[in-house]
Amino acid sequence: MCFIIHVTQDPNPTFFPKNNEAFHGTARRLRVGIVGCRIGHRHALAFARLPALFEVKAVCDIDADRARAVADGLGGVDWMQSYDELLGRGGLDLVSICTPPYLHFKQISQALQAGCHVICEKPLVGSLRELDQLATLGANNHARIVPVFQMRFGGGLQKLKRLVEDGVAGRSYLATIETAWRRTEEYYEVPWRRTWKGSLGGCLLGHAVHAHDMLTYINGPVARVRAIAKTLVNPVETEDCATASLEMSDGSLASLSVTLGSVVELSRLRFCYENLVAESNLAPYDCSSDPWKFVGASAEIEKQIRETLLDWKSGPEGYDAQFLDAYRVIREGEQGVARLSDARASIELASALYHSAQCDETVYLPIRPEHPAYSGFHSAENRVLGGACGTTDGAHGS
């Protein structure tokens, strides 16, 4: 296995102003350790494309061959099989966590206690309780946690964000979010993917999470949820098909559909507003990028769309843009495009979806600590045995 490193051109000023000292390479680079080299190799390549900002010092994976391959691709950096050894070596500013979900809470905690900032893949953790504990731990250790929501940085989605924020779109009516992917038995040969304990959830948490995050990124918080989730495609513990109806805090509606049994894979985001309709491309794993379609309600609105996007300049997307944004959050204390509060909103929505599906209830957000869904995702069997269903009166926001 080998990895070819490409260096990107100048970052898009939208994400990284050229008058910033880091752009010119005069700021101290963040020294990075990566744990989990399956997805972590993608992080490694993105960090390597940003050499003025990041320096990968070591990589870690329980599979020695995988760790060695990523290390060699980065020019021979240190590699190891022990996470404790990675943290114990010292000299790290940032840990990039790309391990299975069930390890995230413990590994983020360890990194924060070691004085490191954290970038972590989705899902960040398995409950609102764990996320709030990590937020406190990070604040106490003066360390930042950056969740990976790389799809937010796609050019098409960012254009829609501008049209909404500039008031061109008008009032939101309805959004439809479709995630139709295919996962066969081969995918589940990795044992942790088959179980609640290993994956923390199924298609709602591990597959459609980015599409659902893009919904809330554009249209804001969710007010209430009603969901159905079933296991229809593969003999696994977690759900692989789901539908949900949402009311957003602004009064608009949204529908979610997810399956891991689609022979033709696609992701589709469609937003209906007072003044325009916006529709993504159908690429299953790149739907936030261009091309997107924007159709105005009149010739005047079409003109406003063109004028609003007239000075649009394409820039980095995906992990490159995410890590540029993370640098600004960590080094400069900026708010960032992908924040810990966004990870909390994502976990809260997933919590509501699971509780609604498993208990056949409408769930109102925000979810408070006394709500049974605050403490985590569980199988329907555990929900019933644990008495979590039918106990939500007075435990949700109004």
CATH of the domain at 305: 3.30.360.10
**Rounded average pLDDT over 151-167:** 98
Q: Is residue 215 part of a domain?
A: yes
3-class SS of residue 262:
strand
Report how far residue 209's alpha carbon sits from residue 126's, in angstroms, rounded to the nearest whole number: 13
Residue that terminates a domain, selected from 314, 346, 372:
314
Please give the residue that has the higher pLDDT: either 121 or 386: 121
Which amino acid is present at 347?
A: I
* DSSP per residue, 337-396: SS-HHHHHHHHHHHHHHHHHHHHT--EESSBPTTSGGGG----HHHHHHTT-TT--TTSB
pLDDT of 379 reads 53
Task: Report the distance separating Cα 95 and Cα 93, nearest Å.
Answer: 7
More confident residue, 376 or 131: 131
C-alpha distance from residue 180 to each of 189, 192, 267, 275, 393 (Å):
21, 22, 6, 28, 34
Considering just the CA atoms, what is the radius of gyration of the chain in Å? 21
Domain of 121 in residue numbering reads as 30-150+320-338
Cα separation, 367 vs 357, in Å, equals 16
Examine residue 77 and state whether it is found in any structural domain, yes or no: yes
CATH of residue 134: 3.40.50.720
**Burial per residue of 106-145, b for 16 or more beta-carbon CB atoms within 10 angstroms, e otherwise:** ebbbbbbebebbbbbbbbbbbbbbbbeebeebbeebebbb
As a whole number, mean pLDDT of residues 285-295 equals: 98
Beta bridge partners of 276: 296
In a domain, 364, yes or no: no
Q: How confident is the model at residue 398 (pLDDT cuts 50, 70, 90)?
A: very low
Mean pLDDT, rounded, for 312-336:
95
CB 205 within 8 A of CB 343: no
Report pLDDT for 389: 83
Residues 162 and 38 in one domain: no
Residue 25 has pLDDT above 70, yes or no: no
User: Which of 314, 329, 359 lies at the terminal end of a domain, its last residue?
Assistant: 314
360: alpha, beta or left, given left = phi > 0 and alpha = psi -120 to 50?
A: left
Q: Is the pLDDT of residue 8 over 50?
A: no
Residue 375 lies in a domain: no
Statement to judge: residues 96 and 169 lie in one domain: no
Per the structure, the count of domains in the chain is 2
Q: Tell me the percentage of the chain whose pLDDT exceeds 90.
A: 86
Distance, in Å, from the CA atom of 287 to the CA atom of 195, rounded to the nearest integer, reads 28
More confident residue, 94 or 9: 94
Average pLDDT, the chain: 91
Identify whether residues 235 and 144 lie together within a single domain. Answer: no
Compute how many other C-beta atoms are within 10 angstroms of the C-beta atom of residue 161.
Answer: 16
Domain match, 258 and 273 both: yes
- Residue among 250, 249, 251, 309 at smallest CA distance from 278: 309
Does residue 396 belong to any structural domain of this protein?
A: no
The verdict on 253 and 231 lying in the same domain is yes
Given a cut of 70, whether residue 20 has pLDDT beyond it is no
Residue 29 above 90 pLDDT?
yes
Does the residue 358 lie in any domain?
no
Taking the C-alpha atoms of residue 89 and residue 32, their distance in angstroms, rounded to an integer, is 12
Q: How far apart, in whole angstroms, are the C-alpha atoms of residue 35 and residue 42?
A: 12
Question: 194 and 233 in one domain?
Answer: yes
For residues 189 and 324, state if they share a domain: no
Predicted pLDDT of residue 219 = 98
Same domain flag for 106 and 181 = no
User: Per-residue pLDDT tens for 347-358?
Assistant: 999 999 999 999
Parallel, antiparallel, or unpaired: how do β-strands 172-182 and 253-259 relate?
A: parallel
Identify the weakest region by mean pLDDT among 96-105, 296-305, 378-387. 378-387
pLDDT tens-digit readout, 167-199: 999 999 999 999 999 999 999 999 999 999 999
- Same structural domain for residues 57 and 126? yes
Asked if 69 and 37 count as a contact pair (C-beta separation under 8 A), the reply is yes
**7 pLDDT more than 50:** no
What is the residue whose two structure tokens read 């009064």?
Answer: 251
Dist CA 271 CA 174 (whole Å): 6
Q: Are residues 189 and 249 in the same domain?
A: yes
Residue 349 lies in a domain: no
Q: Kindly state whether residue 146 falls inside one of the protein's structural domains.
A: yes
Residues 157 and 58 in one domain: no
Round to whole Å and give the CA distance between 380 and 358. 5
Q: Tell me what pLDDT residue 89 has.
A: 95
Measured between alpha carbons, how far is 288 from 160 in angstroms, rounded to an integer?
10
* Whether residue 221 is found in the same domain as residue 106: no
Burial of 25 (0-12, 13-18, 19+ CB in 10 A): exposed
